[in-house]
Every structure is written in C-alpha cells, then in structure tokens.
Amino acid sequence: MDLFFVNIIDGLVFGLLLFMLSSGLTLIFSMMGVLNFAHASFYMLGAYFAYQISTVLGLGFLAGLIVAPIIVGIAGAGIERYGLRRVHQYGHVPELIFTFGLALLVQEVVKLFWGQNQVPYAEPAWLDFALFNIGENSIEAYKVFMILISMLIFGGLLYILTKTRIGMIIQAALSYPKTVEALGHNVPMVFMGVFGVGTALAGVAGVIAGPALGTFPGMAFTLGSIVFVTIVVGGLGSLWGALAASLLIGWITTFAAAYNFEFKTILLALGMEEPALIWDSKLRDLWTLTLPQIGPILPYVLMVAILVFRPQGLMGKREA
C-alpha cells in the first residue's frame, strides 16, 4: 500500500510536468492549427539555459528558474515572428515540417555547445532532503517543490485566461481572429505573445525537470512524442483535456514501471505449460514479458486507440 501512495505522488509529478508542456502546446495548437514539433525543444533549452546560469555561472538555482524561461520565451516569440509567420503562407504541411526541422536543429545546436553527454545539472542543496516518509519510502522535497510550481503555474494560467481582460482577448482571438482584429486588437501580436508564453512554460518545465530526469541532448525527443500523445488524447485545444490526459499518462507510465507484473501469470492461468527450455521456445518473449517492459509504449497504444475510436480526444470539441 505504501508503494501505491509513492507511485501516486511520482505519477503526479510526471503528469504535472507533462501538463506544463501540453498546456502551452495545446494553446499554440488552437491558435495556429498546427502541432508544434519543436515544443519539447524549448523544454530542453530551458534545462540547458538553467544549467548554464545556475551551475556554470554559479548564480544559483532560483536565478535559473527565473531567467532561463524568460530567455526561452523570447527565443520562442522570435521564432514565431521570423520563422513560423513566414512559413504560414505556404500552408499547414510546410509549417509542421518547419517545426520538425527546428526540433532537429535545436538538438544539434545543443550538442554543439554542451556536448553529447548528460550535463551535471542537479537540484539545489536546499531542496535535497527527505521531506516526509510513506512507510519506508522517503519523499524528496524536490518532488513536492515540482508539484507546487506546476500547480502554481496552472492556477495562474487559468486565472489569466478566464478572469482577466488579456485572457478574454486571447480566447476571443483563438476562436474569431478576424472579428477581434476588426475591434482594434493586434492579433498577430497576441499570437506571438501566446507562443512566447507557451514556450516559456515549456522552459519552466525544463528548468525543474532537468535535475530530476537528466539534462541531455535526447531529452526533447524522449518527452516530445509523449507530449503529443497527451494533447491528442486529451483533445486538441482543450486545456482541461490536457490536464486530464497528462495526469492519466503520468500515472499509467509510473504504475507500469513500478509493478513487475509478469505475463507468465496470465499464460499459466490460461492453462499453458511453461516450456522447460525457454530460449528455444517461439513464445519466449511472451513468457518473459513484464509490465515495465511495455510501460513506455502504453501511451502510444492509448493514442492510437483514441484516434481510431474517438478522434476528438477525451474532452476535445473538434476532430484532430
């Protein structure tokens, strides 16, 4: 039972982390109508910038947490202004391909500056202690810190989007850009701002996830496709759907990784006999299969199933 609660917390940490990426991505999708493949690249840039600021320059973790997302956001806004807006005129497919190329490019640039290997970006010493125990498992303060930051950001985002004037304009601009423009608002500016804030959010996610999940050039691609899965499962353009899907996928992957369930049990229950020489058996993979092995692919199974049976996603209104 202790293990169950520990996994609930771990899943929550991962789910909220996913949500920080998927919330920005889903907003950007509602705005451009195109999935941004490079979104996770901004997450990676956040982690690397924070590493550079906090560890290499020695300014401390908090400086990285504040400055790195701002730089990432500015970079994101610049890419929207000078890259995406230009490609937009060619149509959807070139736009998608542009973000795909950008993701490749960012990875190579990161490799050029910080090398192929993982960099030693660690959580700050003042958060490196066990906050409380569940049974024999200690929960680190850093995990709780990650949860708090994510919740804070979600609360802030929700408040801005639903309660403030700027939020109203953004929401209106997403649905009826022409009308909002006719009312005298600078819609391209709004889009650039949303893109900048969305990428800055991804940057925050990178800053706090870098120490926990590792800061290496492949981190964008590892997480990037999972973020896609999240917003497709949640329903493209839906913020609440993104939250639900993030938590769902966070828990699914965490639980699948934690419980060493063997498929042998099912086969034995079906009345099959375990072969004596397992390595000669044609079904050896089925006999040795465990849940942690298939854990990483469960999100993709979920996504394909959702796309086939409910293309609008869990809470989406329109078809993907």
Question: Where on the chain is the footprint of other proteins (CB under 8 A)?
Answer: 35, 83, 86-87, 90, 92-94, 96-98, 100-102, 104-105, 107-109, 111-113, 115, 225, 228-229, 232, 236, 282-285, 289, 293-294, 296-297, 300-301, 303-304, 307-308, 311, 319-320
Closer residue to other proteins (CB): 149 or 302: 302
Closer residue to other proteins (CB): 214 or 218: 218
The tokens of 181 are what?
């423009």
Closer residue to other proteins (CB): 236 or 244: 236
Helices (H), 52-140: 61-79, 85-88, 92-114
- Minimum distance from residue 2 beta carbon to other proteins (Å): 30
- Minimum distance from residue 34 beta carbon to other proteins (Å): 8
- Minimum distance from residue 213 beta carbon to other proteins (Å): 18
| 143 contacts: CB under 8 Å, gap ≥ 6 | 9, 10, 13, 212
| 125 contacts: CB under 8 Å, gap ≥ 6 | none
CB 317 within 8 A of CB 238: yes
Helix, strand, coil distribution of the chain in percent, nearest 5: 75, 5, 20
Helices (H), 214-283: 219-234, 239-258, 264-269
Closer residue to other proteins (CB): 83 or 167: 83
Closer residue to other proteins (CB): 49 or 98: 98
- In sign, the C-alpha dihedral spanning 8, 14, 16, 19 is negative
- Minimum distance from residue 228 beta carbon to other proteins (Å): 7
- Minimum distance from residue 144 beta carbon to other proteins (Å): 32
